[in-house]
Amino acid sequence: MKLRYYTYDLQLKHTFTIARGSRDVNTVVFVELEHDGITGYGEASPSTRYDETPESVIEFIKRIDTGKMADPFQIERNVQYLSSLSENDTSARAAVDIAMHDWVGKALGQPLFRIWGLSPEDTPVTSFTIGIDTPDVLIDKIKEAEEYPLLKIKLGGDNDEEIIDTIRSVTDKVLRVDANEGWSIREIALEKIHWLQEEGVEFIEQPMPADQLLDTAWLREHASVPVIADENVVSMFDVPGLRGAFDGINIKLMKCGGLNAALKMIYTAKLMKMKVMLGCMVESSAAISAAAQLAPLLDYADLDGNLLIKNDPFKGVTIKEGKLILPDEPGIGVTKTGGM
Ligand code: MG
């Protein structure tokens, strides 16, 4: 088995701002796993929120002894080996996990959703994310997002009211709100949630800092819209501890270590009667199409990272009236568009 990797700068269509900061470029690391003449593709989109950088991803990949990995069909065993190298480095592990799954699908000649027994008709509509911005730019972004029926709005800065008022002046679409840990006082967070419910918000994602779990449980008890965990749910081991504090979890391949871990988290959440959302970082169509293979299992999809960039080196999953359309192609279902 051979592993190759290279970095790639994803150029954002707009400066992307959330409660933690802004950027125009997101550097990802692509991985290619070659074995028996078949190549599987994977991608890491490292986040400094989880102490990862493109450099740390490469350092992790260099530490992998492919001689210790079994053939790529033995995903469970190989994932255990990757976890034994680091409890963290989740996006780096996700890149190898995705490449392994892509390889298996290609070796079997089937898309992953079919191998997992899922129906492509069951994919939900994905939300389209609108970052924090000035009113003029927000209005432009809402116009550009015309084809997406569900919008996810980033709040948690000091102009939440202005953002929602601006959006409501141009659209009555269903909104989802992600505060990215931006509200630290629970009474104020509750007031915001009551107000957002009146503004037609379907759920609130990560209203409070991850280390304020008791405050979040209080908030959820008093709030009348679902509260979804994101920064509070990194690995599969976090899921059981969130019962009572959240109504659902936002899983991301880059936080949990890949498709193998995401599947385990989805079924754990379902056992706990929690809602399941699958989100993403700013990623190319490689990682998004990998995540989309799980979409038939979801309550909520937020797989729009590839829609925010202008130099996507892969094509795979597409969107029709907001609904995720899974290509009937092997593995994660992607092809290179050239230029790499
Ligand atoms: Mg989030």
Query: Both 148 and 240 in a single domain?
Result: yes
Which pLDDT score, from 0 to 100, does residue 306 have? Answer: 93
The alpha carbon of 152 and the centre of ligand 1 are apart by a number of angstroms equal to 10
The alpha carbon of 22 and the centre of ligand 1 are apart by a number of angstroms equal to 15
The alpha carbon of 306 and the centre of ligand 1 are apart by a number of angstroms equal to 16
The CATH number of whichever domain residue 87 belongs to comes to 3.30.390.10
Query: Both 93 and 132 in a single domain?
Result: no
Query: Both 302 and 155 in a single domain?
Result: yes
The alpha carbon of 178 and the centre of ligand 1 are apart by a number of angstroms equal to 6
The alpha carbon of 230 and the centre of ligand 1 are apart by a number of angstroms equal to 5
Q: Which helix (DSSP H) or strand (DSSP E) does residue 80 occupy?
A: helix 75-85
Tally the domains of the chain: 2
The alpha carbon of 196 and the centre of ligand 1 are apart by a number of angstroms equal to 17
Query: Both 42 and 144 in a single domain?
Result: no
Domain closes at, from 109, 132, 147 = 109
The alpha carbon of 86 and the centre of ligand 1 are apart by a number of angstroms equal to 24
Distances in Å between the alpha carbon of 337 and those of 262, 313, 315? Answer: 27, 5, 6
Query: Both 60 and 121 in a single domain?
Result: no
pTM of the predicted model over 0.85: yes
Across the strands, what pairs with 40?
Answer: 33
pLDDT digit string, tens, across residues 35-85: 999 999 999 999 998 899 999 999 999 999 999 998 999 999 999 999 999
Query: Both 70 and 211 in a single domain?
Result: no
The alpha carbon of 287 and the centre of ligand 1 are apart by a number of angstroms equal to 17
The alpha carbon of 70 and the centre of ligand 1 are apart by a number of angstroms equal to 35
Query: Both 103 and 233 in a single domain?
Result: no
In the chain, pLDDT over 90 holds for what percent of residues? 91
Query: Both 83 and 209 in a single domain?
Result: no
The alpha carbon of 231 and the centre of ligand 1 are apart by a number of angstroms equal to 7
The alpha carbon of 219 and the centre of ligand 1 are apart by a number of angstroms equal to 17
Query: Both 64 and 42 in a single domain?
Result: yes
The alpha carbon of 332 and the centre of ligand 1 are apart by a number of angstroms equal to 24
pLDDT digit string, tens, across residues 7-45: 999 999 888 777 777 889 999 999 999 999 999 999 999
pLDDT digit string, tens, across residues 269-315: 999 999 999 999 999 999 999 999 999 999 999 999 999 899 999 99
- Residue 292's domain spans which residues? 115-336
For residues 208 and 167, give the distance between their C-alpha atoms in angstroms, rounded to a whole number: 23
What is the 8-class DSSP label of residue 111?
B
